[in-house]
Amino acid sequence: MSTTATAIRVVPPVANPSAGPDYVVVDRVRKVYNEGTRQQVEAVAPSSFTVKAGEFVALLGPSGCGKSTLLMMIAGLDAPSQGTIGVAGRALTAPRAETGIMFQDPTLLPWKSALDNVLFPFQASKRATGPTDGPTLARATALLDQVGLQGFHDHKPRQLSGGMRQRVAICRALVYEPDLLLMDEPFSALDAITRDEMNLVLMKMWEEHHRTALFVTHSIREAVYLADRVLVMSHRPGRIVEDICIPFARPRGLEIGETVEFNEICGHLRSKIQHTPH
């Protein structure tokens, strides 16, 4: 790909050559709140896109554009007003046990240790009828070590920094080996330095575990750094107005953010967001 801005490819082939078939299929999905009343609000205009198996896709857009609403519909936590969503070849009608979710807040239980917070989804599921089994406990311990929390397994959330709490949340989302990982601006409340550190941690974990991933953000640089593809949403009612391939090979260091090509892609995305009508 040329380093000139005019050479940026729009709606290109998938960036990740190892990605599989369509795993998430969003077909003309629309969301309207208070439908049929004077307070009716269209949060998401009819939108369609796909995510390949093993692909990392960022959903980028201004605050209030409906990107979190769209993500929650893909999680099965909210129902579309119109359109359909398919995951793993099946129509989505309810939340899936195989989907891992990270929210803006780590939502850790304050009375539980880091390790117990990671294990909580497994313990709370119908699959857990007794003490945590050995393989799951070993997996949770290994995940905490992988994100740099050796020695903090027994610490309560109040004893951890914001970045450390989000590391626990990453482990919790991965502990039962989901096939789809959905992330709703998980690092938006962190300071810039910690956010960069968490992007590195997430990149490392994704490369090791390689789940199909959708990442919601309003940070252009974060989207370009993390993703194989970036989908841009317009102002509310949100709709997909751009779908571009990110051409950088993995693994990626933070220094890639200083390159001309990286900044030209960011400029292209910023222009697209700024020039979409309200």
Per residue in 133-160, pLDDT (tens digit) is 788 899 999 999 999 999 999 999 999 9
Higher pLDDT pick, 251 / 228: 228
Among the listed ranges 3-17, 18-32, 51-65, 195-209, which one has the minimum average pLDDT value?
A: 3-17
Predicted confidence at residue 11, as pLDDT, reads 39
Predicted pLDDT at 21: 85
Q: Does residue 277 have a pLDDT over 80?
A: no
Rounded average pLDDT over 247-272: 93
In the prediction, which pLDDT does 127 show?
Answer: 53
SS (H, E, C) the chain: CCCCHHHCCECCCCCCCCCCCEEEEEEEEEEEECCCCCCCEEEEEEEEEEEECCCEEEEECCCCCCHHHHHHHHCCCCCCCEEEEEECCEECCCCCCCEEEECCCCCCCCCCCHHHHHHHHHHHCCCCCCCCCHHHHHHHHHHHHHCCCCCCCCCCHHHCCHHHHHHHHHHHHHCCCCCEEEEECCCCCCCHHHHHHHHHHHHHHHHHHCCEEEEEECCHHHHHHHCCEEEEECCCCECEEEEEECCCCCCCCHHHHHCHHHHHHHHHHHHHHHCCCC
Can you list the domains of the chain with their CATH numbers? 5-98+180-274 (3.40.50.300), 107-177 (no CATH)
Instruction: Please give the pLDDT value at position 1.
Output: 38
Average pLDDT (163-177) is 92
Instruction: Provide the pLDDT for residue 99.
Output: 94
Mean pLDDT (the chain, rounded): 88
pLDDT of 7? 43
Is residue 35's pLDDT more than 70?
A: yes
Dump pLDDT digits (tens) for 16-26: 445 578 999 99
Q: pLDDT tens across 181-212, in order?
A: 999 999 998 999 999 999 999 998 988 888 99
